[in-house]
């Protein structure tokens, strides 16, 4: 536990320093209100066309999140596969294999849930 004291001290310092910076910025920063023209999107001096906010379908966000999720799964599996031989040599191969099997089972369950809930269909 005494080895973690520097980690906790540094974490506390970073949090306090961040809060101090945010507080100092609110005190010392400019207090001007922006005009309505400043808040509009820049369109080369011309009035903007269409709605103020563009509606992006949720399916694009869902696809991006799913890609990142399964990409991170592969990122975790690669070092595990490289180090698995070392774990077998130390006698912890079955434990490491079972923990990776649980990890994969959770992701496979998630993939089947996505297919069943039709999250990957575009129509």
What confidence tens digit (pLDDT) does each residue in 24-59 have? 998 888 877 777 776 666 656 666 666 666 677 778
List the chain domain ranges: 1-30, 55-123
Pick from 7-16, 17-26, 29-38, 95-104: least confident: 29-38
- Look over the chain and give the mean of its residue pLDDT values, rounded to a whole number: 84
Residues 68-91 have a mean pLDDT of 89
Contact 31, 25 (CB under 8 A): no
Q: Which residues contact 80 (CB under 8 A, 6 or more apart)?
A: 96, 100
Give the torsion sign (CA, 80, 85, 90, 94): positive
Query: And the tokens for 53?
Result: 């906010």
pLDDT value for 41: 66
Distances (CA, A) of 8 to 17, 27, 103: 14, 28, 30
Local confidence band at 114 (pLDDT 50, 70, 90 cut-offs): confident
């Amino acid at each position: 536990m005494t080895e973690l004291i520097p980690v906790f001290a540094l974490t506390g310092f970073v949090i306090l320093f961040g809060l101090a910076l945010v507080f100092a910025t609110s005190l010392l920063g400019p207090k001007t209100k922006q005009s309505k023209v400043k808040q509009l999107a820049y369109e080369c001096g011309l009035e903007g066309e269409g709605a103020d906010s563009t509606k992006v379908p949720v399916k694009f966000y869902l696809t991006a999140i799913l890609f990142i999720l399964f990409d991170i799964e592969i990122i975790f599996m690669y070092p595990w596969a490289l180090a698995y031989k070392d774990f077998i040599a130390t006698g912890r191969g079955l434990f490491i294999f079972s923990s990776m099997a649980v990890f994969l089972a959770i992701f496979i369950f998630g993939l089947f849930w996505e297919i069943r809930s039709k999250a990957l269909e575009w129509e």
